Chain A
């Protein structure tokens, strides 16, 4: 399961997508909309994607995760559109036989996603808005 969607993310479906009888460890990372950023109060986030390239970049990351990082199954869903505080913007699930590979791969996937996948967020504040051009 690799996709970019306008719909709210079904975390149960993301977890089910990495289930397997040989996988004893499942790690799920969820990135949620936070109510503050750089000392300003955030009210909403707008996410925009270059959808075709974003989905193929995510698929490539997933392939690398399976080939080089010891994961058995991975799922990545990223949301676009206007999100409210508390909503899930991204979910990354990884399963493997044992936990070290699942933790390590999940971390690598979300970190690399933030660096290379063409998705952007604009923070909306009570008194303005700004595109974010960094990936801490």
Chain B
């Protein structure tokens, strides 16, 4: 592992390259005050485990209903997540 990149906010953290980003939208982004969360879960991890970890790190998520998308598709709780996957939390939709 190399921690030589000086422009990375994760420099110096162990296993920084295993960090993952989680996209937030609409009311969820507003509630958390940002459009992206970064976390470093113990790998391997499933969707359900990731959700649990997110809620424990960001308790503001606890009362909120959301589904999880992996690589832009709704995912099952049992689905495994890889560090390179695009993860998003999808609050109840209201298009149309």
A interface residues (Cβ-Cβ under 8 A, vs B): 31, 47-50, 52-54, 56, 78, 89-90, 110, 113-122, 131-135
* 10 smallest beta-carbon distances between A and B, as pairs: A119-B95, A120-B26, A131-B27, A53-B72, A132-B94, A114-B96, A133-B92, A121-B94, A31-B96, A90-B96
In the complex, how many angstroms separate the beta carbon of B79 from the nearest chain A beta carbon? 15
Question: Given A56-B72, A122-B26, does the pair A114, B95 have CB atoms closer than 8 Å?
Answer: yes
Check A131 against B30 for contact (C-beta < 8 Å). Answer: yes
Asked whether any CB of chain A lies closer than 8 Å to the CB of B91, the reply is yes
Is B13's beta carbon under 8 Å from chain A?
no
- Ordered by A's residue number, 16 sampled pairs between the chains whose C-beta atoms are within 8 Å are A47-B95, A48-B26, A50-B23, A54-B95, A113-B96, A114-B96, A116-B74, A117-B95, A118-B69, A118-B88, A118-B90, A118-B93, A120-B27, A122-B27, A131-B30, A132-B94
Query: Which of A31, A121, A133, A134: most chain B Cβ within 10 A?
Result: A133
Question: Of A50, A54, A56, A120, which is within 8 A of B94 by CB?
Answer: A120
B interface residue count range (under 10 / 10 to 19 / 20 to 34 / 35 or more): 10 to 19
- Name the distance in Å between B28's Cβ and chain A's nearest Cβ: 9
* Contact in complex: B95, A133 (CB < 8 Å): no
The answer to whether A78 and B72 touch across the interface, beta carbons within 8 angstroms, is no
* Complex contacts, B26 vs chain A, CB 8 Å: 48, 120, 122, 131
Residues on A with beta carbons closer than 8 Å to the beta carbon of B96: 31, 78, 89-90, 110, 113-114, 119, 135
- By a CB distance below 8 angstroms, the chain B residues around A50 are 23, 25, 69, 72, 88, 90
Given A50-B23, A118-B25, does the pair A113, B95 have CB atoms closer than 8 Å? yes
